[in-house]
């Protein structure tokens, strides 16, 4: 992937310059892992990415774009192809694309048939064309932390450590805080589109 940042940008962060300890492939894998998690947590992509979904027709002129895991495709930007009941729709130029992942036809309906899953939609979707600076920063910091965790002598699940200065509490990732890094989690929570759907 590497859609939000680069290996070179992560290398500029403190402690990331050692290419023997952190080969480019490892840094790239950390970036990819974080970008997927950021998209999942915020419920959208921060650049325009391709999507293909197969959904059940509604019998109406609108359709909600939903993936196999029941997450919505938010901020659709373009439609590259639409197939209804095996027939390709030739012209979608008059259709409207709603930021909440709903497409509306200018004429006709998305037919409902049993057993369903009769409409396949492909296109691009994403909140912005290029990732905002705070999302880029969050991805870089989180990727750095994943790499550092890989060489740390502190157990990943540790909630505290003791040293000569006393007990130090450690932050842990969880359902509400995906990275365990307060700055990153604040950015992701602020940018999240993970709100209830309204039909």
Tens-place pLDDT, residues 6-46? 999 999 999 999 999 999 999 999 999 999 999 999 989 99
Looking at residues 71-85, what average pLDDT do you find?
Answer: 94
pTM: predicted TM-score of the whole model, two decimal places = 0.82
Q: Which are the contacts of 12, defined by CB distance < 8 A and separation ≥ 6?
A: none
pLDDT at residue 1, as a whole number: 64
- Mean pLDDT, the chain, rounded, equals 91
* pLDDT tens by residue, 24-34: 999 999 999 99
**Domain coordinates in residue numbering, the chain:** 7-44+130-152+168-191, 49-125
- pLDDT exceeds cutoff 80 at 47: yes
Residue 196 has pLDDT above 70, yes or no: no
User: Residue 174: what pLDDT?
Assistant: 74
- pLDDT surpasses 90 at 161: no
What is the pLDDT at residue 195? 52
Neighbours of 102 (CB within 10 A): 20
Contact (CB, 8 A) for 66 and 73: yes
């Amino acid at each position: 992937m590497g859609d939000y940042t680069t290996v070179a940008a992560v290398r500029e962060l403190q402690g990331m310059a050692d290419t023997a300890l952190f080969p480019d492939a490892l840094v790239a894998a950390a970036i990819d892992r974080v970008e997927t998690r950021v998209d999942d947590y915020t419920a959208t992509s921060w650049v325009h990415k391709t999507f293909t979904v197969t959904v059940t027709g509604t019998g109406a002129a609108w359709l909600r774009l939903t993936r196999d895991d029941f997450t919505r495709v938010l901020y659709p930007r373009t439609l590259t192809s639409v197939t209804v009941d095996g027939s390709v729709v030739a012209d979608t130029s008059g259709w409207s694309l709603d930021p909440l992942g709903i497409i509306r036809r200018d004429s006709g309906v998305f037919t409902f048939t049993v057993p369903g899953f009769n409409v396949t939609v492909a296109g691009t979707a994403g909140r912005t064309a290029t990732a905002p600076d705070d999302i880029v920063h969050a991805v870089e910091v989180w990727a750095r932390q994943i790499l550092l965790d890989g060489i740390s002598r502190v157990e990943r699940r540790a909630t505290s450590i003791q040293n000569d200065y006393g007990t130090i509490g450690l932050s842990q990732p969880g359902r509400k805080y995906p990275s365990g890094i307060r700055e990153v989690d604040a950015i992701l929570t602020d940018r999240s589109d993970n709100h209830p759907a309204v039909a």
